[in-house]
Amino acid sequence: MIARKPDWLKVTLAHGENYERLKREVKSLDLHTVCQEAMCPNIGECWGAGTATIMILGDTCTRACNFCNVKTGSARGEVDWLEPKRVAEAVRDLGWKYLVLTAVDRDDLADGGAAIFASTVRMIHKLVPDAKVECLTGDFAGDLAAVDVVLEAGPEVFAHNLETVPRLQATVRDKRASFAQSLAVLDRAKRSGKIRYTKTSLMLGLGETESEIEETMDRARAIGVDIFTMGQYLQPTKRHLDVVEFITPSQFARLRDIGLAKGFRQVVSSPLSRSSYHAEQAFQ
């Protein structure tokens, strides 16, 4: 266990007029953000700039991954079908032009929540025609027909995170997830021809080797993944996995160069990078 964060991981506490305004708006619209639920270290920067990643389908995940701070439990099949309209209104009223739309895993739903993902994308495009939407979904328990439902709605980017290298999957993720299942989801999205870009992300510092990272890049690139992001894993509470290693900024920079050399259209790689961090810039 590593007790102390290096200086390059220290961030300024969230503050500022835009941040406080957005916080009030999100609360008033009864919306959840992964920025808050997952204790993202970039919340001050992103919210201060007036952007956020909206998390639909509630704040309770049916899975219990060992890295994630989102609340775990049973959502009892409940779905708020007015949520897509509230999200779209937030995009319109707050002037967002690029929204990352994600969700908790909902294994209690027959389609894993695919229908409400699709409804939200369509509502955003209806109310804000020039807005771009990135869907960061779960694996839908391997149901590729559910992936198709999301793709039919026409998001500009389809993202699903591999999270870690194959060897560490069982240690890091819920037992219902797997590297092969996640790879199949990304492959389906790319092969569909209905999506502009596909995207995935890794957390580093969990004990993976550089050769394993490269192997994971190769397998993602082999199925046509366009955008690859990497960031430092940070332990949210003492109940979660320990940090094995803090990856230096220079190591992240080298991995970015390796990824670009492998043919990814964009690689976002830094200690504080997360799957949705600077998502609009990566898209552009």
pLDDT of residue 5: 84
Residue written as tokens 């080797």? 209
| Averaged pLDDT, 82-95 | 91
Nearest-angstrom CA–CA distance, 122 and 130: 12
In this predicted model, what pLDDT tens digit does every residue of 44-81 receive, in sequence order? 555 555 566 889 998 899 999 999 988 899 888 889 99
Q: Does residue 215 have a pLDDT over 60?
A: yes
Q: Would you say 204 and 172 are in contact if contact means Cβ atoms under 8 Å apart?
A: no
Q: Does residue 16 have a pLDDT over 90?
A: no
pLDDT of residue 62: 95
In this predicted model, what pLDDT tens digit does every residue of 179-211 receive, in sequence order? 999 999 999 999 999 999 999 999 999 999 999
pTM: 0.89
Average pLDDT, rounded, for the chain: 88
| Averaged pLDDT, 237-259 | 96
pLDDT of residue 9: 81
Q: Does residue 14 have a pLDDT over 70?
A: no
Contacts (Cβ under 8 Å, ≥6 apart) of 68:
38, 61, 236, 240
pLDDT of residue 7: 85
Q: Does residue 30 have a pLDDT over 70?
A: no
Single out the residue of 274, 276, 65 nearest to residue 169, CA to CA: 65
Instruction: Report residue 4 CA to chain centroid gap.
Output: 26
Q: Which CATH architecture has domain 11-283?
A: Alpha-Beta Barrel (3.20)
Single out the residue of 157, 151, 162 nearest to residue 117, CA to CA: 151
In this predicted model, what pLDDT tens digit does every residue of 157-186 receive, in sequence order? 999 999 999 999 999 999 999 999 999 999
Q: Poorest-confidence range of 7-21, 36-50, 126-140, 226-240?
A: 36-50
Nearest-angstrom CA–CA distance, 252 and 260: 12
pLDDT of residue 49: 54
pLDDT of residue 268: 93
* CA distance to 23, 87, 195, 206, per residue, from 32 (Å): 10, 10, 26, 28
